[in-house]
Amino acid sequence: MLGSLKPQPADKILALMGEFRADPRKDKIDLGVGVYRNAEGVTPIMRAVKAAEKLLWESETTKTYTGLAGDPAFNAAMADLVLGEAAGAERIASVATPGGTGACRQAFELIRMAAPAATVWVSDPTWPNHLSMLRHLGVPMRPYRYFDADSRAVDFAAMMADLAQVRAGDVVLLHGCCHNPTGANLTLPEWQAVAELMERTGAIPMIDIAYQGFGDGLEEDAAGLRLLAARLPEMLIAASCSKNFGIYRERTGALIALCDPAPREVVQGTLAHLNRQNFSFPPDHGARLVTIILGDPALRADWQAELEEVRLGMLALRRQLAEALQEAAGSDRFGFIAQHRGMFSRLGATPEQVERLKREHGIYLVGDSRLNIAGLNARTVPILARAVVAVGI
């Protein structure tokens, strides 16, 4: 049986990480992997997380299972963090999941169960794992244009022209903020237009919000999502705690489904059923830490302060890189970097230029030229700028 298996395509980002580790050069720079790093190149444990871990260690009395949906307090805290007052509890069904990836996977499973003929519309480009999971599950999907390669901005007219073709019951996958891989986000008026299109067509939004707090602020980054939630009867939300709480390895996320109050119990039971089929009880340690932090005013304030430091630090790096590239290139063609938000931007390099950056300068980017801003620091910004110009980007 096992001898009949075919090799699976290598994950390009994981393969790039392996290449970087094997590179003996001392001055190499990793801008590929999507993990936040501080100026010292470390992914730190946030102060509030350390404090919550101590509180948990002192107070935890059991390691028995939580419910299939996870701890209700975690689900309530996440719904409040993401939705604010945009939807009442009577409309919310939610479960804890292994990270935002687990939430996306469960959402796709739910779509397949509820509407097997539905097409999931996905931005071009998007996070590659969206496409991989949809293909694996056999869920029909179609791309919609999103990013203009020349202006490095959202091509909203093209996006809306494509989405005008959606049918009632189709699902439109949107990035809540800090679009991965481009860093180009919708404006609030554009979110408003998307909401009107959804109302008109009967399509259902699915929001992947993996970077809340990394863009324009905790509340600002959820504004588009909340606008949709307040206007539309149904919505799916895949939320991750990996980035904004810095708990990558704890695999902490939530899937939230908004619906009319009447079917809410059935939806909640279906979400719990999907958890049971895929991994039974969700991991709890990270979820417990998030619940402690969000429920303690002092810890929450400290967490938000540190998250804001992270956000402002990435914005400063964006400005520094845009200025360094303007100086090195004698052109303002890289000004888009300062306008983008979150960890990522696309430089607009060809695969050959990305390969030259790696081979000649020890600078590792994903093949589509996605750049992790959080992998930079004050020392490496001018190095990258000079290398970008040297390879002709």
CA 172-184-359 angle, 5° bins: 115
6 tagged catalytic: no
Q: Which of 93, 118, 210, 387 is catalytic?
A: 210
CB atoms within 10 A of CB 8: 7
Measured between alpha carbons, how far is 32 from 52 in angstroms, rounded to an integer? 31
DSSP annotation string for 201-240: HT-EEEEEE--TTSSS-HHHHTHHHHHHHHH-S-EEEEEE
Tokens encoding 214? 């990394």
26 tagged catalytic: no
Extended beta strands in 47-189, E state: 92-98, 120-124, 141-145, 147-148, 153-154, 171-175
121 tagged catalytic: no
Tokens encoding 140? 């029909």
Scored b (16 or more CB within 10 A) or e, 54-72 reads: ebeeeeeeeeeebebbbbe
Q: Which of 30, 162, 170, 208 is catalytic?
A: 208
Q: Which of 93, 96, 243, 303 is catalytic?
A: 243
Q: Which amino acid is at 211?
A: Y
243 tagged catalytic: yes
Q: Which of 86, 103, 107, 127 is catalytic?
A: 127
Catalytic residues: 127, 208, 210, 243
